[in-house]
Structure 1
Amino acid sequence: MKRKSLFALSAVVVVAAAALVPVLWSGSDYLHNGTAVAATPADQAALIKKGEYLARAGDCIACHTVRGGKEFSGGLPMATPFGTLFTPNITPDDQYGIGKWSQDDFYRAMHTGRSKDGSLLYPAFPFTSYTKVSRADSDAIYAYLRSVPPVSVPSRPHELKFPFNNRNLLIGWRTLFFREGEYKPDPTKSVEWNRGAYLIEGLGHCGMCHTSINAMGGPVNSAAFAGGLIPLQNWYAPSLTSNKEAGLGDWDIKDISDLLKNGVSQRGAVFGPMAEVVHNSLQYMSDEDVHAMSTYLKTIPQKSEAPEHLQLETSEQFGGELLKQGQKIYADNCAKCHSENGLGMPPSFPPLANNQSIQMPSAVNPIRMVLNGGYPPSTGGNPKPYGMPPFAQALSNQEVAAVVTYIRQSWGNHGTAVSPQQVSDLRSAPLD
């Protein structure tokens, strides 16, 4: 569920969020210079508060704020296979931000993927998901962004390779991969389920990471939510449709909710891009919304698996050697926290035994964790998370491959052996 979306043809204008909450507008509301203004100061304050919550739900700050920079002033470089784009300033600055945008302009960007001047937006701004957001929620986010301090910082020009710097090519992309339309509730499902679907499929835009993309930067819709490698980030977003990976069909609702809200649960912990999502966004969502999202995620049906990425295979003999070597490395470096039997001490130290994320076909994530270490996010429910130390300096490529092979094949786990070449390829991968 990573919000940075460092793939497809990267981001352009505004980011928003979603929530099916009572509309705060009435017939007495009006527009002032294209800006939504509620009937009373109290109504306007409530509208802005609602918009702030929705902006948190959509993780707007992750893409539109450079670390250490002014909030929502943009400038974040987003590397893609097609070049580098830079996120725009979405503060209410008249010259460089969205100060001259009307609420209609804002909604058009979210709903149709077109900027104020009508130009097409690049699809790493996830308008393909945001089109599902209701007009009322779009207006609330707009009101909130209009309330933040303006920042006079110009947006940096994108650095796209030819021919991807030609926006006219987006016409063909949109024909293939974009269907405009707000979310329509499923009358056969509960209100809670529909709420969760609205959040996950709309401004949550979870499918942008958990669905593979093709050579054109478009989603493989036949394998929606079936997992995929996030290009250039070198993290694997696991399948939400298969219990062989992160499919949640056999998880308790509480475990799913804990993972989303706190970053840790009895079933495991989040690291990498998902840790940022929890830290910036999900921990601030209401318990009711997190429960609704968990309810929906638990019911995502089994679908086609994600296209398999090339993964170097080891011979059976070499795999056996790695397994034996990894057993000793595990005992010396890992058992203290994760226990000799692999059950760990959850939620502080997640279990490795019977852990789908350890034994998925893709070994990218466990290799990255052993190499680089990391922390689950610091959240209200888990303010002092325990971290995983990095072993990149202490272990060779073969030693990392050995210990990852051991944890993928022990305690009833059924993962395949890991090649030292896979470790070598990921050792130099970017950490963000």
Structure 2
Amino acid sequence: MLNNPSRAQPAAVSMHAPRRRLGGAAALAAAFSLFSLVVVWHELHGPSAHAADEPIAQAHADDADQTPDDVATLTAPGVNGANGANGANGELIRRGEYLARAADCAACHTADKARPFAGGLPISTPFGTIVTPNITPDPDTGIGRWSDADFLRAMHEGIGKSGERLYPAFPYTAYTRVTEQDVLAIRAYLNTLTPIHYTPPANSLKFPFNQRWLMVFWNLFNFTEGRFVPDPKQSAEWNRGAYLVEGLAHCEECHTPRNFMQGLQSGARFSGAVQAGWHAFNITPDKLSGVGEWSDDELIAYLSTGAAPGRANAAGPMGEVVANSTQHLTPVDLRSIVVYLRSLPPVSGGDTRGRHQWGTPADDVTALRGTAITGVNGAQLFVANCASCHSWTGQGVGASAPGAYPSLIHNSTVGATDANNLALVILHGVNRATAHADVMMPAFGGHLDDEQIAAITNYVTRQFGNPQATMSAGQVAKLRTLQ
């Protein structure tokens, strides 16, 4: 996630005449002057910081159709209670709690559930490890001494209280689109948290990426500061979905591939990317590589419960997103997200078959009876470790009930073109708690070695999924090391 762009090497020390040194200094001064002019132009002509701070009027039309429990808590687009910041403090705090869930703040800022929002979560990047900060109102180790202006500046501009540049592992590149009213509502909610006196470990970044001032250059190429501006040609529902997806929910941070500077590739938005080993799949409307064949109800079910039978079951980081964030969104907001995703340009990943279209039931258990097994056998390991929940046929147990053990047939994880997600699920298990069901799959990484995990993975993809997706013991070993 980290995007610290400068790979410049230290300048060589000149052993020649002072004139060459003066020439180099003049060139450096000229370059710095040019850069300063670019910054000034960007400040004068870039998007206004206040262009869309006002609630989006055209989206209020759908508020009348909501029940009291579904009243939207966003100030844009189209959220009822747009004047909440001027009303009772309790309403502001409740709205801030909802917004903090939509932004999934807890996911990154909670490493220990006994210390919620106290930070300490290590995030691996190509340039080292970033550790998330404490955002409880503790005055010494958290943000208790931050002013509202400090908080707004961090969220909108990526600049900390002391003027330090924040790394984009914190998605200020998306949060910059969130209105001032909504940011201050989140701030009001965070102020109500129990202060936790805890200083997370320091970042561990390689030189020169530990030099925060270099983020100035990264921002020039990868960050556009400014609030969300509604599209008058689109519906209120679309604008509402765009505001959520592009801003608070920051979906692109995981689902869009990155350039060599680790900035988002604007030409491949939402087409899928790999984060810490996990493949965040293509969520454009492409019928084979994306979610074009999913119904609206299936997408909403996936976001609200983590399960869309016959399509996919959320695990890993997406399972956490469902548990911490999307299951708490109102039906209006969930449907708005789907409307916006439907409007995205389809991006093909080159697939010739949809991820959910693979698989046939297995009958290997019959062949294994009375057979002496030598070496590592994927079918035997599957029957011994997986069949009690997924059935030896791979068809799962419990059909489509909320607490069902999912089928491995017609399953997006098993039918993917790479087996990373499947191997990671076997390694780490699943623990996804929603209002519909507590889904738990044990982690097998503690008692199965890399060769055994690879054997199960390859058996499952060969029998129930995409047989071209394979995993070696060495790849499993590498996946074990990822945070």
Instruction: Give me the TM-score of the superposition, normalised by structure 1.
Output: 0.78
Q: Which runs of 5+ in 2 are unaligned?
A: 5-72, 351-376
The aligned counterpart of 2:433 is: 378
Distance 2:453 2:194 in 1: 48
Does structure 1 conserve the Cα–Cα contact (< 8 Å) formed by 2:417 and 2:468? yes
Distance 1:209 1:259 in 2: 17
Distance 2:237 2:193 in 1: 32
How much identity, in percent, do the aligned residues show? 38
Does structure 2 conserve the Cα–Cα contact (< 8 Å) formed by 1:243 and 1:356? no
The aligned counterpart of 1:12 is: none
* Ranges of 4+ aligned residues in structure 1 off by more than 6 Å: none
Letter in structure 2 aligned against 1:121: L
Distance 1:153 1:396 in 2: 36
Cα shift at 1:19: 5.9
Q: Does 1:217 align with 2:278?
A: no
**Counterpart secondary structure, 1:78:** strand
Does structure 1 conserve the Cα–Cα contact (< 8 Å) formed by 2:414 and 2:466? no
User: What RMSD in Å do the two structures reach over aligned CA positions?
Assistant: 3.1
The aligned counterpart of 1:197 is: 242
Cα shift at 1:23: 4.6
Q: Does 1:404 align with 2:457?
A: yes
Does structure 2 conserve the Cα–Cα contact (< 8 Å) formed by 1:341 and 1:353? no
Distance 1:396 1:61 in 2: 32
Distance 1:96 1:331 in 2: 50
Higher mean C-alpha deviation, range 129-138 or range 289-298: 289-298
**Counterpart secondary structure, 2:433:** coil
Deviations 1:194-236 (A, max 9, x none): 2122111112111111122234222222222111111xx3211
Which of these two proteins has the greater Rg computed from alpha carbons?
2
Letter in structure 2 aligned against 1:416: Q
Cα shift at 1:261: 1.3
The aligned counterpart of 1:420 is: 472
Distance 1:151 1:400 in 2: 39
Distance 2:148 2:173 in 1: 19
**Counterpart secondary structure, 2:216:** helix
Higher mean C-alpha deviation, range 361-370 or range 163-172: 361-370
The aligned counterpart of 1:315 is: none
Q: Which has the higher contact order (CA 8 A, sep 6+)?
A: 1
Q: Which runs of 5+ in 1 are unaligned?
A: 1-5, 10-16, 27-36, 307-324
Letter in structure 1 aligned against 2:330: S
Q: Does 1:390 align with 2:444?
A: yes
Distance 2:445 2:204 in 1: 35
Distance 1:87 1:213 in 2: 21
Letter in structure 1 aligned against 2:301: D
Distance 1:372 1:165, change over 3 A: closer
Deviations 1:257-301 (A, max 9, x none): 121111222232111111111122222222222222233234432
Distance 1:387 1:150 in 2: 33
Aligned length: 383
Distance 1:395 1:152 in 2: 39
Distance 1:389 1:115 in 2: 38
The aligned counterpart of 1:270 is: 314
The aligned counterpart of 1:22 is: 80
Higher mean C-alpha deviation, range 329-338 or range 71-80: 329-338
Does structure 1 conserve the Cα–Cα contact (< 8 Å) formed by 2:111 and 2:121? yes
Distance 1:280 1:47, change over 3 A: same
Distance 2:277 2:340 in 1: 27
Does structure 2 conserve the Cα–Cα contact (< 8 Å) formed by 1:405 and 1:416? no
The aligned counterpart of 2:11 is: none
Distance 1:243 1:335 in 2: 31
Cα shift at 1:106: 1.7
Cα shift at 1:238: 1.3
Distance 1:94 1:239 in 2: 42
Query: Following superposition of structure 1 onto structure 2, how do residues 174-193 of structure 1 map, counting pairs within 5 Å?
Result: 174-193=219-238
Distance 1:427 1:99 in 2: 38
Instruction: Give me the TM-score of the superposition, normalised by structure 2.
Output: 0.70
Q: Does 1:256 align with 2:314?
A: no
